Amino acid sequence: MVLIKMKEIAELYLGKTVKDAVITVPAYFNDSQRQATKDAGTMAGLNVMRIINEPTAAAIAYGLDKKGSEEKNVLIFDLGGGTFDVSILTIEDGIFEVKATAGDTHLGGEDFDNLLVEHCVRDFMRINNGKNLASNKRALRRLRTHCERAKRVLSSSTQATIELDSLFEGIDYNTTISRARFEEMCGEKFKEEDEARRSCVEAKHQLENYCYSMRNTLNEDSVKTKLDAGEISSALAVIDEAIKWLETNQTATKEEFEYKLKEVEKVCQPLATKMYQAAGAGGMPTGGPGGFGGAAPGGGSSSGPTVEEVD
């Protein structure tokens, strides 16, 4: 139905019959989804010449394939009415290749419209003693149209005004929305990504702190007398390699940071065990990672170090 309507619109605009078409699909569509789209075009009476990715179509629309023949990478940021896609393309001699794609199939302009409409409905109820205009479809449709217009205005202005005469039961409605308030309302939609970035940063800091703390501990003179020099040298080499990796991979994923931490722990934990065992005879060095600080009483029990709980 959508393709039939688009065909009618194109024919009305061009003033002639449209037979051939190139149809765009999201970059993450698999082969069966692409074939289903092609079949839908055929049923709509179109000769589908080609199915291309939406990011590729966006690049062609902006003429990026005409700007030189050298290879270049292009980031396509596509926030549509119902979906959100980000893709990285490589363009060389007019040939497009999608390198990576990601996004959210349930995030788009309609979601922002809904948030603004819900805010206005609550505001109308607050002002007019609980009158709920959501029960009136016509009033809700008018409000949604003005909210969508206000959203577009906020893309280039710091505030937008929504004014409707006789919106519900003869009551006028006027309100002003600032861009800051609108961004605050939409913040919940980005919470998932914020949480993902926060956990990634925490994983990075955990790896960083462990490496530096363990390196400082292994460089202490009191530790060098209790552990084999070869083991210390091997562990320090692994730690230094991890620190260099950190410096060159600041944008790594949470999983990559966690995997790197496990690699370092695999080498350092046996040394930490030996340091704990040696604590019964000579005490632990201070400043170690994961609570290595604090000395066990000399000449104490052979069962291991004394554990003290502190605030």
Confidence at residue 209, expressed as pLDDT on a 0 to 100 scale: 94
- Specify the pLDDT at position 279: 67
- The pLDDT tens digits for 220-230 are 888 888 888 88
Instruction: Render pLDDT for 26-37 as a digit per residue (tens, 0 to 9).
Output: 877 889 999 999
Spell out the domains of the chain, with CATH numbers in brackets.
2-104 (3.30.420.40), 190-282 (1.20.1270.10)
Q: In 3-state terms, the chain is what percent helix, strand and coil (to 5)?
A: 55, 20, 25
Measure the CA–CA gap between 120 and 168, rounded to whole angstroms.
Answer: 13
- Is residue 287 within 8 Å of 220, Cβ to Cβ? yes
Q: Identify the pLDDT of residue 261.
A: 93
Q: pLDDT grade, residue 91 (50/70/90)?
A: confident
Q: How far is CA 201 from CA 133, 212, 254, 262, 263, in A?
A: 44, 17, 8, 17, 18
Q: For residue 291, what pLDDT band results from cuts at 50, 70 and 90?
A: very low
Q: What is the pTM of this model?
A: 0.60
What is the rounded distance in angstroms from the CA atom of residue 254 to the CA atom of residue 204? Answer: 7
| Distance of alpha carbon 66 from alpha carbon 73, whole angstroms | 14
Cβ proximity of 235 and 271 under 8 Å: yes
- pLDDT of residue 298 exceeding 50: no
Tokens of 184: 């605050």
- Tell me the C-alpha distance between 150 and 38, whole Å: 37
Q: Provide the β-strand partners of residue 102.
A: 86
Smallest Cα–Cα separation from 73: which of 55, 46, 47, 51?
Answer: 55
